[in-house]
Amino acid sequence: MNRHLRFAVLFAAIGASFVASHAFARDTIGNYPVDAALASEPGKVTDDIKLYFAGQQHPAVAHSFGNFATNKKTNSFGKSDEKACQHVFLSAVIELQQRARAEGGDAVINIVSNYHNEERESATEFTCGAGAIIAGVALKGDVVKLKGK
């Protein structure tokens, strides 16, 4: 077999394996505890911007800056779904906190999961999609200034 033909066969085999692996790609959607995720990497989420998930009581709102969304992804290769989902959840929460700071707010209220544009309201759990290589979390919440702050 000449060199060019071997090269072509090799690339065809690599391409076929890529297509086959892509066809069997995993996207496991699960729900994970908010409290465990917030505690999973101490110090990452600050307490200067308060977080209130759907259904949680919060002080009265003095001013609303709008509803904002985040859609974060992380490398999940070699990590358990839970660890990857906790990490990417923290990234999504941090982004909401950064948005609140930028808008002049001091809290994010009514936080809901919005994975694949399907809202899920829970004060105790968030939704995460985890695959063989990437995990993702999408959140939405209202950035506000609370009364008395």
| Segments making up each domain of the chain, as ranges | 26-146
Say if pTM beats, i.e. exceeds, 0.75: yes
Q: Cα(77)–Cα(123) distance, rounded to whole angstroms?
A: 29
Mean pLDDT over all residues of the chain?
Answer: 89
Reported as a single tens digit per residue, the pLDDT across 20-35 is 344 346 789 999 999 9
Which CATH class, in words, describes the domain spanning 26-146? alpha beta
DSSP per residue, 19-73: HHHHHT---EEEEEEHHHHHHHSTTSS-SSSEEEETT---PPEEEEEEEEEEEEE
pLDDT at 74 over 90: yes
